[in-house]
Structures are given as C-alpha cells and as structure tokens.
C-alpha cells in the first residue's frame, strides 16, 4: 500500500521568509496529492492539491510541485505570515484511500 513520508517535522521561519515542506510517496499508482492545514484546535482543511498529470500548481502565496519520476511533491509558501503557523499534512491517494504524512509544524515568528 501507499506510504507517505514528510519532512521536516518542525519548521521555524521569520515572517516574510519562504517555507518548503517535502513529501515522498511509494505507490506509483497514486494520482492525487492534497495538502491540508490544521490550525491549533481545529479540523484539517484542504489548502491546495495537485493531480498526477500536472507538475506545478499555484494559488496566491502557496504552490505545490510534483515530480512523478522521483515520487516526491513539495509545498512552497512564500512571504510567510504569522497566520500561516499551523500543522501541515501532505497526502497521497491510491484506490480511494488517502494516506497522510506525519505532519509538519510550521511556526512563523513576527
């Protein structure tokens, strides 16, 4: 089955810096890769996703890149703000199952 690994587990940046979170997956049949943001005490919410027929997708300050050959995908956040502080989860989907990474705690300091 699918296995998703996520790094780093914690990431501290200064406001305005960029942040990058990386994930690798094992199942070459996986075709959908979402990213979820979970603020403290709240439910995870989808922030961006990418399908396997696309290499990059952007939405304002966030972008996701996918390298199918290497089986890795990354979340890029530019011009970070304190409200970006949260836990971010990557995931990969294979046969209706969404498998999550272990999460990255991002702390953006003013």
Partner 1 sequence: DVKVTQSSRYLVKRTGEKVFLECVQDMDHENMFWYRQDPGLGLRLIYFSYDVKMKEKGDIPEGYSVSREKKERFSLILESASTNQTSMYLCASSGQNTGELFFGEGSRLTVL
Applying CB under 8 A, the span of 11-19, 58-66, 69-77, 101-109 interacting with partner 1 comes to 101-109
User: Does the footprint of partner 1 cover residue 1 (CB under 8 A)?
Assistant: yes
CB of 76 to partner 1, least distance (A): 20
* Residue entry with tokens 């005490």: 41
In angstroms, the Cα distances linking 29 to 3, 59, 72, 77, 96 are 12, 26, 13, 27, 11
Judged by beta carbon, residue 34 or residue 84, the one nearer partner 1 is: 34
Applying CB under 8 A, the span of 12-20, 53-61, 68-76, 88-96 interacting with partner 1 comes to 88-96
Concatenating the DSSP letter of every residue in 65-105 gives EEETTTTEEEEEE-S--GGG-EEEEEEEEETTEEEE---EE
Applying CB under 8 A, the span of 13-21, 55-63, 75-83, 99-107 interacting with partner 1 comes to 99-107
Give residues in contact with partner 1 (CB under 8 A): 1, 6, 9, 32, 34, 36, 42-46, 49, 89, 93, 96-103
């Amino acid at each position: 089955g699918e296995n998703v690994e996520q790094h780093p587990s914690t990431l501290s940046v200064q406001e305005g810096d960029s942040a990058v979170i990386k994930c690798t997956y094992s199942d070459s049949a996986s075709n959908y890769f979402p990213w979820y943001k979970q603020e403290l005490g709240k439910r995870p919410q989808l922030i961006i996703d990418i399908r396997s027929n696309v290499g990059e997708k952007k939405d304002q300050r966030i972008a996701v890149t996918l390298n199918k050959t290497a089986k890795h995908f990354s979340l890029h956040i530019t011009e970070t703000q304190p409200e970006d502080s949260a836990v971010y989860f990557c995931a990969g989907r294979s046969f209706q199952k969404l498998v999550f990474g272990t999460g990255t705690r991002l702390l953006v300091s003013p």
